[in-house]
Amino acid sequence: MTDALPRLRTRAAWVALGEHAPELRTRHLRDLFAEDPDRGDRLRVEAAGLVLEEIQKINATLPEATRVRRFLLLQKELEADDNEITRTRKVRRGYVAEKYAAVIEAFYSGAKDVDVTVDVTYEDGRKTQLSSNILIHDVPALAAQKAA
């Protein structure tokens, strides 16, 4: 089942980008979003919808106790340059739990979203901060899915 997670992330990202994927190779994202400020929100909603579809398919095969009930999409992938994972791609759980404490708290408290500011280190050593609002999505119960 863990092999499905990278495919989910990749499929959701490329399907959400859809016809715009070739544009991203030649134009800077900031330029694309400046022309259409709502584009980012639409892509986030579309990507979350695609992930929800996949979760619902997987949940249908799982016992009730192990089903996914909530999920969120982080504003960036975990990176070795930010000390969130090792160079061999193992998650540094303690560091991630500390860095994303507000996200974890919001997730388990039943909140619908959380504002987050994280430090980002680029491969060339430059540093910046990334602020965003992360939406937390509830997965409908399987019984409700079958009734619909």
For the segment 2-45, what is each residue's pLDDT rounded down to a tens digit?
444 444 444 444 444 555 555 444 445 555 556 666 777 777 88
Q: Report the range out of 11-15, 49-53, 58-62, 111-115 with the highest average pLDDT.
A: 111-115
Q: Is 65 exposed, middle or buried (0-12, 13-18, 19+ CB in 10 A)?
A: exposed
Q: Which two tokens stand for residue 46?
A: 């579309």
Min mean pLDDT across 37-46, 80-89, 121-130 is at 37-46
The answer to whether the beta carbons of residues 143 and 102 sit under 8 Å apart is: no
Q: Is 0.75 surpassed by the pTM of this model?
A: no
pLDDT at 35: 66
Map tokens 């708290």 to a residue: 105
